[in-house]
Amino acid sequence: MSQASAPSTAAPQPLTGTTTSGSGNLGLYTAVVAIWGTSWIGLKLQVGAGVEVLASVSYRFGLAALLLFGWCLLRGHSLRFNRVQHLRMVAQGFLMFTLNYFLFYSAALYLTSGLLAVASSTVILFNLVLGVLFLGQRLDARLVAGVLMGLCGIAAVFWPEVSHFSLSDTGTKGVLLALGGTVCVAFSLTLSAFNQKSGLPVLQTNAYAMAYGTALTVLLGAATGTPFSFALTPEYVGSLLYLSLVASILAFGAYLTLVGRIGPARASYASVLYPIIALGLSTVFEGYQWTPPAVLGLILVLIGNILVLQRKASVR
């Protein structure tokens, strides 16, 4: 799953350039787009296996946390942090690996994988709102045009799901859940950027955040009486391994490293491209039916995101 950037007041660096990490940044970016573009199919396989949402989320990030801690110990990375740093990692874990994925896995009960990816790409628009509210960024004509275009595009893509708005309608539930998860992503990545600026390393922070997120997911499951079943099928086990090893450990590590290196704005170009991959896979494997409004809507979302991302930094 996915996910885009937090707002930033600093001018982002280009993906490539004269810096020593230029080619490495491009490689990280390409990996994020490819992995997160394919991860939504894996998420749908998890939901379709009949295992409860909270159980699947806890298995995914519990396994990822164990592997990350093992890697840190093998490489000799320090795992000692103070109480305030742990509290920040708890907050990041709750937003990024508990609440966010609980909402997106729940949305996957009602939406195709491609539509989930498109919904997640709107995190760029939410980040813009966060920048205006908390970072003093100003709105200009380009920003307003990008936001309006993106909102119109989302409305067109999801028109079949929301044309008859009702909280009892499954399509509407899916859209609201996915957008709720996207808001969590925006806040969690803002916190991740802050944690990196305060000196917390990406690898160890991810390990602790995933562990804390898993613990909170298990507690939430226990409080709600959720059964923690497991499906010993090739589809479920295979998707669990892919989502834990590749989509969680590798993709999150690469993406959050990019956020620290080149700034959230440049890193979030991944959110413009991976929905295209996800919709293509959804067309092939899930029978997603393209309609003229959906095509127009996707184009508007992409153009709107690009307008927002290419804005000039404007801070009070």
49, amino acid identity: A
Q: What six digits make up the tokens of 125?
A: 């628009």
For residue range 161-175, what is the model confidence (pLDDT) as tens digits?
666 656 667 878 888
- Report which of 27, 90, 23, 65 is spatially closest to residue 203, judged by C-alpha positions: 65
- Spatial distance between the Cα atoms of 236 and 156, rounded to a whole number of angstroms: 33
Is residue 2 over pLDDT 50?
no
As a whole number of Å, the CA-based R_g of the chain is 19
- Report which of 76, 55, 100, 74 is spatially closest to residue 209, judged by C-alpha positions: 100
Instruction: Please give the distance of CA 60 from its chain centroid, rounded to a whole number.
Output: 15
What pTM value is reported for the model? 0.79
Return the pLDDT at 310.
Answer: 65
- Spatial distance between the Cα atoms of 249 and 270, rounded to a whole number of angstroms: 17
For residue range 120-178, what is the model confidence (pLDDT) as tens digits?
877 777 777 776 776 566 767 777 787 778 778 877 877 776 666 566 678 788 889 99
Beta carbons within 8 Å of 313's beta carbon, 6+ residues apart = 9, 10, 11, 137
